[in-house]
Amino acid sequence: MESNGVKRKIVLFILGFIVWCLLVWVPDWQHLVVGVFVAGMIALLVGDLFIKKPGKLKHPHRYRYFIFQYVPTFLWECIKANIDVAYRVVHPNLPINPGIVKVKTTLTSDTALTFLANSITLTPGTMSVDIDKDKGVLYIHWINVKDKDVKGATKDIVEKFEHILAKVFE
């Protein structure tokens, strides 16, 4: 196994064990042994899917961007989308214009693309359907298509998350 793959699995093991300890927070040896086992299994099974360059985790500015820019932006977009979808549900005419739109992204890493696709899917009214990593394209099901043009749809759906995720993961 290559050394970079081993580093990824070690980083994932450590992060998984820390999360386990924070969630369980019972200082007895049985919980710690189970935590080591669970974190080890996760690291072995999905360690290759995790992060390609674990050295990037050492940069604290990435965490600041994530906590102080991505999280508030994501929460704000979710609140706006929830209100919009609720309005459409209670409106007597149910004003929807569903469709699948193609959007472009400049993100290249698997982690960044996964966060982008999940951010879109977790925002009510949109759902990521497919990703073509080679072309930098996502296909999104949108409850109310406002713009069928790739540039317009990209501006409406992707741009609010993309520049922040690029600072965190690229």
The boundaries of the domain holding residue 83 are: 59-169
Q: In terms of domains, do 125 and 157 share one?
A: yes
pLDDT greater than 70 at residue 3: no
Q: Which of 55, 73, 90 is the last residue of a domain?
A: 55
Query: Using CA atoms, how far apart are residues 139 and 61, in angstroms rounded to an integer?
Result: 31
In this structure, the answer to whether residues 76 and 156 fall within a common structural domain is yes
User: Looking at the 3D structure of the chain, how many domains does it have?
Assistant: 2
Cα(131)–Cα(117) distance, integer angstroms: 8
89 and 142 together in one domain? yes
Q: Are residues 111 and 160 in the same domain?
A: yes
Looking at the structure, tell me whether residues 90 and 148 fall in a common domain.
Answer: yes
Nearest residue to 159 via CA among 138, 143, 134, 144:
138
Residue 139, pLDDT score: 93
Same domain, 122 and 158: yes
Confidence (pLDDT) at 48: 65
Residue 125 shares a structural domain with residue 156: yes
Residues 74 and 158 in one domain: yes
The partner residues of 8 in beta bridges, in order of sequence, read: none
Average pLDDT, the chain: 84
What pLDDT does residue 49 have? 62
Domain boundary among 32, 55, 78: 55
Same domain, 93 and 150: yes
Task: Name the domain boundary from 14, 38, 55.
Answer: 55
The sign of the torsion formed by the CA atoms of 159, 115, 12, 2 equals negative
Select from 28, 34, 35, 29 the least CA-distant residue to 14. Answer: 35
Asked if pLDDT for residue 22 goes beyond 90, the answer is no
**Does 69 lie in the same domain as 38?**
no
pLDDT digits (tens, 9 = 90+) for 35-92: 899 989 888 887 766 666 655 666 777 888 888 999 999 999 999 999 988 988 888 7
User: What was the pLDDT predicted at 79?
Assistant: 93
The answer on 63 and 45 residing in a single domain is no
If asked whether residues 147 and 134 sit together in one domain, one would say: yes
**Would you say residue 161 has pLDDT above 80?**
yes
Residue 148 confidence class, pLDDT cut points 50, 70, 90: confident
Q: What is the pTM of this model?
A: 0.70
Which tops the pLDDT comparison, 55 or 122?
A: 122
pLDDT, residue 55, reads: 58
